[in-house]
Amino acid sequence: MRKKLKTLVLERGRDVKHVLDYPTANKNPWDFEHRGQAPLALKKENPIAGNRGMFNEATLHWVVMDGVHPFVEEKPFTWTRGYHVGGKSLMWARQTQRWSDYDFEGPIRDGFAVDWPIRYADMAPWYSHVELFAGISGNKDGLPHLPDGEFLPPIPLSCVEQHLQKVITQQYKDRYLINGRCAHITEPKPIHHEQGRAKCMHRNLCVRGCPLGGYFSSNASTLPWAAKTGKLTLRPFSTVHSIIYDEKKDKVIGVRVIDTNTKEMIEYYAKIIFVNASALNTNLILLNSTSNRFPNGLGNDNGLLGKYISWHNYRGRMQAECDNFLDMRTKGKNPSHSYIPRFRNVFKQETDFLRGYAAGIGTGRGFNADRNGIGEELKNNLIHPPLSNWGVSSWMMGECVPEEKNHVRLHETETDPYGIPQLVISAEWSENDDKMVKDYMEQLTEMFTHAGFKNIRATDSHANPGSDIHEMGGVRMGNDPKTSLLNKWNQLHTCKNVFVTDGACMTSTGTQNPSLTYMAITARAANYAVKALKKRNL
């Protein structure tokens, strides 16, 4: 979608060039000084960042250390950030599912949040636009509550997943196990070759950065594509302080940026501003953008900016074994997994909790390391370990209902290293979340039992809110300026040349991984913004 506008992209962190800046992409396990583990002293220095799975030698280059951008946890919250060019597109799980009207209409059916100003028909062509460019593998499943997309061939299910799929279909009328829909190129099309990207090789080292461009990231795809136009300027080391509102023109005219190396304050001017700093930082920027017209933050006439923060509920976990199919094992690695779409409260309210959850399913077969014996016996045991039973795992992806008490705000006195107020995050689980976890564990236990799995173990991780890395809300969309911040085109109701299209714009969260929806919303809003600019409506 080339619209010939000069565009400035601001990134608070360092530059990351595709291929060149993936330092661990091709390292072997023995190439790491500490065999992959981060030094204990470094972990102790960073108790928040050190609590994340990415805090290891292979991915430390993506981690935001605690002192780089401190924040205040009024209640425990796990906040994962990507402060580098490409952001979390280099760190994501690459799962991509469309929303349906059952998701967009959820708030008015269930009586929470506010009505979305858009529906699936508004989004469908933009989902297709993004999918064709990014490259999404999946299967056309014909499910009304999980619309099909523009798919490349799916990554095959394992024999155990096929077995569970058959059992679920036989036992339930409203439940399905399907191929995961993921942003991996399984069969490159001309558009992918034009981007310089190649087929996914199933290395499963994705989070280090993929030199092949086999999965979608901004670095491998959209940023180089935009750079080809000659109209893109990318400025790393640029922390946005606030957005500049002109009282006389009654509109936004630019942004204030702090150079992270020199601490110099710089102003850049533009006719259109897209605020996509990742949900919570987008809230921070808008809250810090004060003026006589907007003393409580840009566009915040109704006082709702920063409120109704939400996320996903990943607390439920399942483990089991399958002692069938012992004559088979997987060959190669699967960068995706299989998926059970939401089946609770889809077409009607049927439980004592609102909304529902989806479930990821993973299977694999490893080795039972036998360390018994000495000498040659021990050597043979270690070199030729017997295969174990199949392992089966599952994790829930529950929809959290947005609540006003879950919010972010600016601290009155504490600031970050650049003098910007620290963000206070106040978020907690609800009774609805607890009930959903309980139901997930009961229902997945039942499905695993029907499948004949053994040693079934259901657990509630009690992980902090935010552990899913899917922060949403605070600048929600809606029809009514009294109850929302953004209109159906993602413009601030009271400042039409400012658009918010990242997770902050979400009115509710759905059960789907959200990145595909963010990208489709962004493409739709950008197309509208260009047309409005040409008509001089901005």
Average pLDDT over residues 233-259: 97
Contact of 344 with 369, CB cutoff 8 Å: no
Q: Say whether pLDDT at 3 is over 80.
A: no
For residue 507, being part of any structural domain is answered with yes
For residue 259, being part of any structural domain is answered with yes
For residue 49, being part of any structural domain is answered with no
pLDDT band at 437 (very low <50, low <70, confident <90, very high): very high
Q: Tokens in use for 450?
A: 């029907």
Residues 133 and 156 grouped into a single domain: no
The mean pLDDT of the chain is: 95
For residue 76, being part of any structural domain is answered with no
Q: Say whether pLDDT at 337 is over 90.
A: yes
Q: Which domain holds residue 234?
A: 1-19+82-138+182-311+469-538
Residues 213 and 241 grouped into a single domain: yes
- The percent of residues in the chain predicted with pLDDT above 90, rounded, is 89
Residues 282 and 160 grouped into a single domain: no
Q: Say whether pLDDT at 190 is over 70.
A: yes
Tell me the DSSP string of 13-37: SB---TTTT-TTTT--GGGSTTTTB
Q: CA nearest 217: which of 437, 16, 25, 418?
A: 16
Q: What local confidence, expressed as pLDDT, does residue 373 receive? A: 83
Residues 450 and 484 grouped into a single domain: no
The distance in angstroms from the start CA to the end CA of the chain is 20
Q: What is the DSSP letter of 292?
A: S
Average pLDDT over residues 287-293: 98
pLDDT band at 260 (very low <50, low <70, confident <90, very high): very high
Residues 205 and 256 grouped into a single domain: yes
Q: What local confidence, expressed as pLDDT, does residue 1 receive? A: 59
Residues 210 and 122 grouped into a single domain: yes
Q: Model pTM?
A: 0.95
For residue 510, being part of any structural domain is answered with yes
Average pLDDT over residues 229-244: 97
CATH of the domain at 208: 3.50.50.60
Residues 207 and 343 grouped into a single domain: no
For residue 147, being part of any structural domain is answered with yes
Q: Say whether pLDDT at 462 is over 90.
A: yes
Q: Give pLDDT tens digits for 23-67.
A: 999 999 999 999 889 989 999 999 888 877 889 999 999 999 988
Q: Which amino acid type is present at position 272?
A: I
Residues 12 and 148 grouped into a single domain: no
- Tell which of 416, 448, 464 closes a domain: 464
Domain count, the chain: 2
460 by DSSP, 3-state: which?
A: strand
Q: Say whether pLDDT at 224 is over 70.
A: yes
Q: Which amino acid type is present at position 285?
A: I
For residue 460, being part of any structural domain is answered with yes
Q: CA nearest 452: which of 502, 389, 398?
A: 389
Q: What local confidence, expressed as pLDDT, does residue 380 receive? A: 85
* Cα 12 from Cα 257, distance rounded (Å): 9
Q: Give pLDDT tens digits for 138-154.
A: 999 999 999 999 999 99
Residues 449 and 536 grouped into a single domain: no
Q: What is the DSSP letter of 84?
A: B
Residues 448 and 372 grouped into a single domain: yes
For residue 408, being part of any structural domain is answered with no
Residues 277 and 333 grouped into a single domain: no
